[in-house]
Structure 1
Amino acid sequence: MQQPIAVLDSGVGGLTVVREVMRQLPREKIIYFGDTARTPYGPRPAEEVTRFTREIVDYLIQFRPKMIVIACNTATAVALEDIRSRVTIPVVGVIHPGARAANGRTQSGVVGVIGTEGTIRSAAYEHALKGLSPNLEVISLACPRFVPLVEQGNFRSAETYEVVQSSLESLKCRQLDTLILGCTHYPFLADTISEVMGNNVTLINSADETAREISTILHDRNRLARNEALPVHQFFCSGDPRMFKTIAQQWLGEQIELTPVVWQVPQIG
């Protein structure tokens, strides 16, 4: 029986990680939990985010996953070590993979980080980046208006452009050449963010690097799926499933059309 990779997020943002896992590891079964009823996590106290993350992990553990991926930057920042201490399987976050990618890409040594209030308040990206290269200049900015846009499926509109432009105004005068999308919701807005920031700024989406880390860990532990049959993925959300399913199908596109999917709304908390 194929053990799945469990992926959790505060809402739809973790689907950016799921898409990369599906692309890089098409034989892996995915169990996804989006906490859409309680999103966003960014403004919430760290203790509350940790409690929510524990509840989701407790729910997902019944599926006997071989790995847990915390595909939420806020939850990674405040709850990663707590969850690692509670389970015996590998737990992967999204902050260190993104930091490594940015460190390898920047030429100017000035890296921007945008994220939720909780992620920016934790300074997790700054610590990770400075740990890799102490001389980096890190400019961090909370963008709390982004997640609600994504959860509403509002990726490209006049309103979206106005929100992104006003939110990022203070970054445009800085000399950064690399910008970390420090929330897994933000890649949904990547086209607009890139348009606002200009061609000289490289956007870092940690989803690709996170999927590579997942692959490396499973390979090293000899746990990569070898089944020839396509896996049956399971997607859970704690809130209204209609918008969640619409966004998931739109974002995952052909990858989700090629594999069987089960959609469910569980009760947790």
Structure 2
Amino acid sequence: MKIALVDSGIGLLAAAAAVRRARPDAGLVLSSDPDGMPWGPRTGEEIRDRALACARAATEHRPDALIVACNTASVHALPALRAELEPGLPVIGTVPAVKPAAAGGGTVAVWATPATTGSPYQRRLISEYGNGAQITEVPCHGLADAVERADEQAIDAAIDAAAALTPAGTGTVVLGCTHYELVGERIRSAVRTPGAPRPVLYGSAGAVAAQALRRLGESAGPAAGPSGELTVLLSGRTAALPEAARTYAEGRLLAAAPATP
């Protein structure tokens, strides 16, 4: 079994690591676009075209499923990807976990890129699945770019700025960009109100990994031998895992896999 993942950059690490933990025997193809990133400021048509290019490069390695491990690409490119690749290749998109986060009500903050915050897409999710929860949309200026560069000082500054916009006492945080999952614990610490329980984080990595296995009729097997190979494509070129990726636990987990030439 081989699963491909597409994103503009290293935000795909979280979902890839979730797949690796669930099925260590699954091969992984990580197809990102350093030549074209960031995708967020681009037009919907440009995002669609660049996501399609990444997906086409990945399909040359004959994956059994494709995860669009990017919220922005899922909004703008998912219909085009499914139209081109399905039913032969299952395509799994990424949606911010508003529904499960709001299921219990309470206070919820949705951390997302400035382009996504307040967008019709996110507002529709909140309207449909908010469940009466008190939901605050928090724009995270520069956080995804800082995570991509593994710039520790910039990450701290961006998290602190977003935490200052998050209401005190917020009990749940939705990570509305896949890059944010790589620094989830730092976000949790920044949002926590002294004396209150640690906020609950809701990302998408585990859910999309589980959905990919379901679409393939497979089940989790974390005890399987770690035999799955890793292929890294940077704007279509076979390469090593970027050094910035190794800064994060998810990247180090993936780097331990044998790489294809």
TM range (shorter): 0.7 to 0.9
Residue 85 of structure 1 aligns to a residue whose secondary structure is helix
Q: Which moved more, 1:233-242 or 1:64-73?
A: 233-242
Q: How many Å apart are 1:68 and its aligned residue? A: 1.0
* Alignment equivalent of 2:158, drawn from 137, 157, 163: 163
* Alignment equivalent of 1:237, drawn from 234, 239, 246: 234
Instruction: Give me the whole-angstrom Cα distance separating, in 2, the residues matched to 1:113 and 1:241.
Output: 35
CA spacing shift, 1:143–1:84, aligned 2, 3 Å: same
Measured on the aligned residues, the alpha-carbon RMSD in Å equals 3.0
Partner of 1:140: 137
Residue 261 of structure 1 aligns to a residue whose secondary structure is coil
Residue 109 of structure 2 aligns to a residue whose secondary structure is strand
Amino acid at match of 2:187: I
* Alignment equivalent of 1:30, drawn from 28, 31, 36: 28
Amino acid at match of 1:162: A
Instruction: Give me the whole-angstrom Cα distance separating, in 2, the residues matched to 1:132 and 1:172.
Output: 20
Instruction: Give me the whole-angstrom Cα distance separating, in 1, the residues matched to 2:13 and 2:159.
Output: 21
Instruction: Give me the whole-angstrom Cα distance separating, in 1, the residues matched to 2:142 and 2:42.
Output: 14
Q: How many Å apart are 1:242 and its aligned residue? A: 9.0
Amino acid at match of 1:63: H
Instruction: Give me the whole-angstrom Cα distance separating, in 2, the residues matched to 1:243 and 1:235.
Output: 6
Instruction: Give me the whole-angstrom Cα distance separating, in 2, the residues matched to 1:54 and 1:121.
Output: 26
Matched positions, count: 252
Gaps of 5+ in 2: none
Instruction: Give me the whole-angstrom Cα distance separating, in 2, the residues matched to 1:240 and 1:231.
Output: 20
Where does 1:81-120 land on structure 2 (aligned, <5 Å)?
81-88=79-86, 89-95=89-95, 98-104=97-103, 106-108=104-106, 110-120=107-117
Partner of 1:128: 125
TM-score (ref. length: structure 1): 0.81
Instruction: Give me the whole-angstrom Cα distance separating, in 1, the residues matched to 2:102 and 2:213.
Output: 21
* Alignment equivalent of 1:193, drawn from 187, 198, 203: 187
Partner of 1:267: none
Q: Percent identity?
A: 23
CA spacing shift, 1:188–1:176, aligned 2, 3 Å: same
Partner of 1:214: 212
Instruction: Give me the whole-angstrom Cα distance separating, in 1, the residues matched to 2:139 and 2:239.
Output: 29
Residue 11 of structure 2 aligns to a residue whose secondary structure is coil
Partner of 2:74: 76
Q: How many Å apart are 1:18 and its aligned residue? A: 0.5
CA spacing shift, 1:148–1:214, aligned 2, 3 Å: same
CA spacing shift, 1:81–1:12, aligned 2, 3 Å: same
Partner of 1:266: none
Are the aligned partners of 1:113 and 1:125 in contact in 2 as well (CA < 8 Å)? no
CA offsets per residue over residues 123-167 of structure 1, 9 Å max, x none? 43443354345534432222230112112112x44x432322123
Residue 49 of structure 2 aligns to a residue whose secondary structure is helix
CA offsets per residue over residues 26-70 of structure 1, 9 Å max, x none? 111111112122222122222211111111122222222221100
CA spacing shift, 1:100–1:210, aligned 2, 3 Å: farther
CA spacing shift, 1:22–1:176, aligned 2, 3 Å: same
TM-score (ref. length: structure 2): 0.83
Gaps of 5+ in 1: 264-269
